[in-house]
Amino acid sequence: MRCLITAALLLVAAGCTPESHRIPAPYPFQGKEYSAPEIEAIAADNCRSETSSDLPPNVFSTDGCSMWPDGDYRECCIEHDMHYWCGGPTQRRGPADEQLRECVAARSNKIHAFVVYTGTRLGGGRLMPFSWRWGYGYPYPYSPTDDSEATED
């Protein structure tokens, strides 16, 4: 029975690319609060500055802290979502996850940050069939064009 439930959950989540925000505005980022169109524009600007590839075909969306309760660290998760939405070489994923851990630790504690970081590392790879995977702004399965030497996932 447990296997059937797990399989059903995976099928429901498989390859989903979120098309809208799953948390209500305002969206905190760098000490300010933004509307949906504003945070989408910020994500696009950040993506353009981080990677030489085109923007993902799907508009930026956030669910806050995926599969985890949002807290005083919600801003950390939204910024992390920007990195994951944009994708790019998987070598960029590790630093994005480390930035999330440091941000959560500063706003919560190191143990909580470790749990968030570990869950992100385990469930956020580009080949995972989840809506919070690396490169979720692209259709599943995501395969970055400039990822020839990637070993993460």
How confident is the model over 78-124, as pLDDT tens digits? 999 999 999 999 999 999 999 999 999 999 999 999 999 999 999 99
Rounded to whole angstroms, the Cα distance separating 136 from 133 reads: 5
Own/partner pairs for 92-96, CB < 8 Å, 24+ apart?
A: 92/50, 92/51, 93/124, 93/125, 93/126, 93/134, 93/152, 94/152
User: What is the pLDDT confidence band of residue 149, given thresholds at 50, 70 and 90?
Assistant: very low
Q: Are 85 and 136 in contact (CB under 8 A)?
A: yes
Q: What's residue 96's pLDDT?
A: 98
Nearest to 151 by CA among 98, 67, 91: 91
Tokens of 9: 């959950």
**Domains by residue range for the chain, with CATH:** 34-147 (1.20.90)
- The chain-wide mean pLDDT, for the chain, equals 87
Q: What's residue 10's pLDDT?
A: 53
How confident is the model over 48-67, as pLDDT tens digits? 998 877 899 999 999 999 88
Rounded to whole angstroms, the Cα distance separating 75 from 109 reads: 15
Rounded to whole angstroms, the Cα distance separating 37 from 107 reads: 26
